[in-house]
Amino acid sequence: MASDLTAFIAGLPKVELHVHHVGSATPQTVARLAERHAGTTSVPADPELLAEFFTFTDFAHFVEVYLSVVDLIRDAEDVATLTYDIGAGLAAQAVRYAEVTLTPYSSVTRGIPAEAYCEAVEDARLRAERDHGIQLRWCFDIPGEPTMNSADVTLGVALDQRPAGLISFGLGGPEAGIPRERYAAHFAAARAAGLRSVPHAGESTGPQTIWDALRHLGAERIGHGIAAARDPELMAHLRDHDIALEVCPTSNVRTRSVPSLAEHPLPALVAAGVPVTINSDDPPMFSTTLNREYEVAAGLLRLDAPGVAELARQAVRYSFLDDHGKAAILTEIDDYVTASRSEVGEPGAPVDVEDRTGH
């Protein structure tokens, strides 16, 4: 029965709301770029060695490794290739729509002009939709750092270039020592320009970071947000104000934000009525996929096929896709569920949670 549910998830139409651009580079792509830039990078060009390279000791180490891969994206052609491959890879998992988090600051400060960067991601977005039928949209993400330069540059690129696929504004990187409230003016300007607010908060820090993101940044969804499980008042607030969390279970274990999958707070959040969506974050780096994350969630929440389908519907509802687009994907999900029932009956007992992260 578990294999039935795995197959059901693989074909289930889905959306992805929390996946990072550079963090989606496959080992093959990373190895190719590392070989191209051999002698000027610490990233190994051997795909087998990348597994060891991507074994993180803690969140700070993850950021260090992530930035070393960022350094491999050195021109507009690299950007376009990476972006197109992301779209193709998501489409192969039956993803119909994805909101991809981009960090233009990292590329612009490495010498790629902002205009060329935006043209590259837009070209790839249109080609991916043409070739694979997937809709890609962008969240421009401030990488949290001690200075405010990254925030100024990210906002400037967003407002000056305003690529057609850009729909939201985010804040990522380390949470500890990077107060959410100091970015209030940047988020206010982005929101005034029509961008939606989706900062990371409560991944590697506590509930207060989430409160700060809500109060100071006008967060409409929260990236990760798993620390909300420690604060009943916060969970009630998220429930009552219909603010969804972008939960990425395997990522939380790999970055040591959660000790193990068995201890993940997803069940507690759902039990409290907090809206959740399931996402993959940096899938190749964490040896996962969006389909695998749905399997993990099914195991944690003891879901059968109809329950998993409802998780997929929930992600559609909390996306920033327009109403027509949402309706189309929701209809496709309903049709898929109906067809699955007629073909194999009621597929899918819950998948047992197997901690494949090594913890």
Least confident of 30-44, 185-199, 205-219, 235-249: 30-44
Sign of CA dihedral 276, 139, 57, 55: positive
**Alpha-carbon span 80 to 20, nearest angstrom:** 15
Here the contacts of 227-230 (C-beta below 8 Å, separation 24 or greater) are 227/202, 227/203, 228/202, 228/265, 228/269, 228/274, 229/265, 229/268, 229/269, 229/272, 230/206, 230/265
Work out the mean pLDDT of the chain and round it to a whole number.
92
**Alpha-carbon span 83 to 89, nearest angstrom:** 10
162-189 residue pLDDT tens: 999 999 999 998 898 899 999 999 999 9
Domain boundaries of the chain, sorted by first residue: 2-344
Q: Are 249 and 296 in contact (CB under 8 A)?
A: yes
> Cα 175 from chain centroid?
16
At residue 342 the predicted structure's pLDDT band, cuts being 50, 70 and 90, is confident
At residue 352 the predicted structure's pLDDT band, cuts being 50, 70 and 90, is low
Q: Are 252 and 224 in contact (CB under 8 A)?
A: yes
With tokens 């960022």, the residue in question is: 70
Element (H, E) at 348: none
At residue 84 the predicted structure's pLDDT band, cuts being 50, 70 and 90, is very high
User: Which architecture does CATH list for 2-344?
Assistant: Alpha-Beta Barrel (3.20)
Question: Any alpha helices (H) in 255-348, and if so which ranges?
Answer: 266-271, 290-301, 305-317, 323-344
pLDDT at 2 over 70: no
Q: Are 98 and 16 in contact (CB under 8 A)?
A: yes
Report, as an integer, the average pLDDT of 119-144: 97
Question: Any alpha helices (H) in 92-195, and if so which ranges?
Answer: 104-108, 114-132, 149-161, 184-192
Nearest CA to 197 out of 211, 214, 210 is that of 214
Nearest CA to 231 out of 214, 250, 255 is that of 214
The length of the chain in residues reads: 359
Least confident of 15-19, 123-127, 235-239, 352-356: 352-356
Distances in Å between the Cα of 128 and the Cα atoms of 98, 230, 271 are 12, 40, 38
Would you name the residues annotated as active-site residues? 203
Looking at per-residue pLDDT, the higher value among 329 and 284 belongs to 329
Report the percentage of the chain scoring pLDDT > 90. Answer: 75
DSSP 75: S
**Alpha-carbon span 301 to 305, nearest angstrom:** 12
- The pTM score is 0.91
Report, as an integer, the average pLDDT of 266-276: 98
pLDDT score for 1: 43
Helix (H, G, I), strand (E, B) or coil at 302: coil
Q: Are 278 and 295 in contact (CB under 8 A)?
A: no
13-41 residue pLDDT tens: 999 999 999 989 877 778 878 888 888 88
User: Taking the CB of residue 259, how many other CB atoms lie within 10 A of it?
Assistant: 11
pLDDT score for 355: 47
**Alpha-carbon span 205 to 119, nearest angstrom:** 36
Tokens (6 digits) for 220: 């409409």
Tokens (6 digits) for 334: 């309903």
Pairing between β-strand 196-197 and β-strand 221-224 as defined by DSSP bridges: unpaired
293-320 residue pLDDT tens: 999 999 999 999 999 999 999 999 999 9
At residue 286 the predicted structure's pLDDT band, cuts being 50, 70 and 90, is confident
Q: Are 22 and 70 in contact (CB under 8 A)?
A: yes
**Alpha-carbon span 141 to 161, nearest angstrom:** 15
